[in-house]
Amino acid sequence: MPVSESSARLSTGFTGKGGLQPWSVREPYTAYKSPYGPQYKAVKQFHGISFGRAARFGITAAGFGGVAGFAALFMFAELPRVAKDIMQPIPILGSFFTKEIAPEDNPF
């Protein structure tokens, strides 16, 4: 197949299968930082999460965990083991969770 002069000029420097140029590695360079632009710094991060964002997530998770624990504690407060071991030692609420059965109502 004859190659015309114009196509030979366009394909100069191309090598490889099908006339494609192999991948070339670019030389590393540092980005230009203008002295007149904003002075910013890259924030250190771990898997895309910065320290500030992790702290905010931690505070939110602690709040949800505290509310869930408080709700679970009062949901299970009527169980005898929870009432005796956890709720009775609390100074203000302890007397509320003390269950005294009258002797005439006790079947044992």
DSSP 57-90: HHHHHHHHHHHHHHHHHHHSTTSHHHIIIIITTS
Q: Render pLDDT for 34-48 as a digit per residue (tens, 0 to 9).
A: 889 888 888 888 898
Maximum average pLDDT range among 27-41, 57-71, 80-94: 57-71
Q: Render pLDDT for 63-83 as a digit per residue (tens, 0 to 9).
A: 999 999 999 988 998 888 888
Top pLDDT among 5 and 52 is at: 52
Top pLDDT among 9 and 59 is at: 59
Among residues 39, 38, 41, 61, the alpha carbon closest in space to that of 50 is found at 41
Flag whether the pTM goes above 0.85: no
The ranges assigned to domains in the chain are 69-98
Task: Check residue 106 and give left, alpha or beta (phi > 0: left; psi -120 to 50: alpha).
Answer: beta
Beta strand 45-46 with 49-50 is antiparallel
Task: Check residue 26 and give left, alpha or beta (phi > 0: left; psi -120 to 50: alpha).
Answer: beta
* pLDDT confidence bin for 22, thresholds 50/70/90: low
* pLDDT confidence bin for 98, thresholds 50/70/90: confident
Structure tokens at 99: 């269950």
